[in-house]
Amino acid sequence: MITEQLAPMNRTHAHIELALAQKEQGTLLAPGPCPHLFDGLKQNRAVYGRVTKGEVFEYYETLLGLTNLKHRTKRRIKAEVMAAAEIYTKRMLQLWVEECGLRTFKDQDGVYQGYGPPGDFMMMRVVDYVRELEKKHNTKIVYQHDCKRGDLGATMIGYYNRFIGDLEQKLGIKHSYLPYDTMNINVYMGVDVALLKEVRKKNFIPARGLELMRDNGKGIVVLCKTSNDSGPHYQQQLLLERKKTLEECVAKDVNYWAKHYGLIHRGLSPLGLVIGSTHPATGIIRALFPTGTWWVPGFGNQGGKFENIMLELIREGEWNGQGATFTNETGMMFVWMKQQGGTGRVRDTERLTIEAVRNFRKAEFNAYQAPEVKAAGIIYPFNTIGRMI
């Protein structure tokens, strides 16, 4: 069992790769490749179109034949929607990578789970496509997965192996179905969820979380200050014995884990936090965990604002102005929809996507110019003027 403080790691990990990818793309933006299921077959067809033949349709029709969806017509309808949604999602990824120069993304597990068991296969095929784009353009694409797992022991190992691990530990097969770079967890059950030390009781539970970060360079992000409306009801409550709010306690604890387990390299930790953009943040979380990288949700339907989060960015050193990934799911994924400020025409997707990313870069640049941001010593870390014109 590991109890002593470990020496600092010397491996380039996912959050260093994320920061470098952000330098390349010139923004903290991370769109969400999330093919939501809409209400009603007509609406899904209006969004994704119709695909009733070809390799992708045949794949899903065959796959659905192995499930308990036995009715042939219903199976073909589901295969049609899944094929169309996959093609749409891959097209968005291609636009973001090839036309907008983006290299960082974060998807949402629950969106794919909404398709039932076949949703896992769609998720796998989309991840595979991301890695194909990576090879095609000879660049690193950082792909993050929002799954919010929070269990104990051998159960948690299953989640880690599924999303950021592989089959080698259990089966001796070096293969990963879902090779994500990072995933997130909740630590309601405590540090045990992170699996940072070995446990030997009736059975042996290895320090799988620690291994994946130190040896495999993966990132693990802890829920701290979420973007949902009712998050403050719990997260901003004061814990009297510790004289800190719950979210502050989480940040302080994760910072301790990063130091104790040697999880800091080049000034960044593979451990990070979720810090939403819908509630004001003053920089106190950054003070409690200086080397962390924040997942910042809310820049979409939830109405998140730059001014709520800018003071949480890193204030000095190599990564000044970084230390976060700004995620936008529906606003970028369905940019053509009128409720997202679009024209309502799917055919305008490419033009509107390029405009949306350009506008995000401009708004982001302006957020760095705010007096309080400059006074905090936070600098704009990108050279993207050409991309913003």
Residues 78-96 pLDDT 10s: 999 999 999 999 999 999 9
- 153 — pLDDT class (breaks 50, 70, 90): confident
- Tokens for 202, please give them: 């009736």
φ/ψ (deg, to 5) at 110: -60, -30
Domains within the chain, CATH numbers bracketed = 14-34+102-388 (3.20.20.70)
Neighbour-count burial of 279, counting CB atoms closer than 10 A to its CB (0-12 exposed, 13-18 middle, 19+ buried): buried
Contact predicate 209/183, CB 8 Å: no
Average pLDDT over residues 345-359: 97
- Helix (H), strand (E) at residue 147: strand 142-149
| pTM score above 0.85 | yes
User: How high is the pLDDT of residue 384?
Assistant: 67
Q: Which amino acid appears at position 265 of this protein?
A: H
φ/ψ (deg, to 5) at 225: -125, 95
Range 219-253 burial, b when 16+ CB lie within 10 A, else e: bbbbbbbbbeeebbeebeeeeeeeebbbbbbbbeb
Average pLDDT, integer, range 195-221:
93
Q: Quick one: tokens of 69?
A: 């969806």
Q: What is the chain's mean pLDDT, rounded? A: 94
| Residue 1 pLDDT greater than 50, yes or no | no
166-180 mean pLDDT? 94
Phi-psi category of residue 58: left, alpha or beta, with phi > 0 → left and psi -120 to 50 → alpha: alpha
On the question of pLDDT at 280 being above 90, the answer is: no
pLDDT at site 227: 86
Average the pLDDT over 141-151 and give the result: 97
The single-letter DSSP state of residue 181 is S
**Going by C-beta distance under 8 Å and a sequence separation of 6 or more, which residues neighbour residue 208?**
156, 157, 160, 161, 165, 169, 195
* Residue 388: predicted pLDDT: 57
User: Which of 136-150, 290-304, 305-319, 320-334 is the least confident region?
Assistant: 290-304
When pLDDT is cut at 50, 70 and 90, the band that residue 376 belongs to is very high
pLDDT at 385: 57
